[in-house]
Chains A and B, each alone.
Chain A
């Protein structure tokens, strides 16, 4: 059964450093998403991506964040200069259409020291 994969599973970084979180969505899906979950809090939407551009983003997704689909399979989230409050679990998801169910990856736990 096809699945969404994410690497790394855990990333530790120093405050102010850049991090890139990687995702491989399901191959025939057209919509891609990033969500985050701060420990003990709800899952929050960050951004949706379709047709090689951002289709929607939340207020969390400020200029420090960017997304890219550098090739036909990967989908990345970059945080330019990490802050302590960026520590969270980051989930990638994909769906065939915007109205369909989303399939989630296992997440990357980001720890900013």
Chain B
């Protein structure tokens, strides 16, 4: 079945450091890929998405590129801020007859210190 694997966390960085959170997936067909963020005490918010191979999603300084050859969708940011501290989830929508079901990775806790 479909699955998403994220790098083990938690991740602790200093402000202005470079961030990478790895995400790889297994799916049949051509899934759409998403990064969601969950700030403390809040629900899940869509951070960025990509719907086909080589697409790059970007938002708020975060980027991720849909790499079909490596089945990856790694999240990057060049300079993190304290306000980026949150839990980040990689997810896929397998498309086809999945009726929109999202399959999530286990989440990566990011803490950014001043």
Contact = CB atoms under 8 A, between A and B. Distances in A.
Interface of A: 4, 31, 33, 35, 41-45, 48, 50, 55-56, 58, 91, 93, 95, 97-107
Nearest to B101: A45
A107 B91 CA distance: 18
B42 interface: yes
A104 B98 contact: no
Contacts of B102: 33, 35, 43, 45, 93, 102
Contacts of B106: 41-42
Given A43-B44, A48-B101, A95-B100, 14 more contacts: A35-B102, A42-B105, A42-B106, A42-B107, A43-B91, A45-B101, A56-B98, A56-B101, A91-B44, A97-B100, A98-B93, A99-B100, A102-B100, A104-B44
A107 B39 CA distance: 13
A31 B99 contact: yes
Nearest to A100: B100
15 contacts: A4-B43, A43-B44, A55-B99, A56-B98, A58-B101, A93-B102, A98-B98, A98-B100, A99-B32, A99-B93, A99-B100, A101-B46, A102-B46, A104-B43, A106-B43
B103 interface: yes
A35 B100 CA distance: 12
A60 to B, nearest CB: 12
B49 A101 contact: yes
Given A99-B93, A99-B95, A101-B34, A45 B103 contact: yes
Nearest to A89: B43
Contacts of A55: 99
A41 B100 CA distance: 21
A93 B36 CA distance: 13
Contacts of A100: 100
A103 B89 contact: no
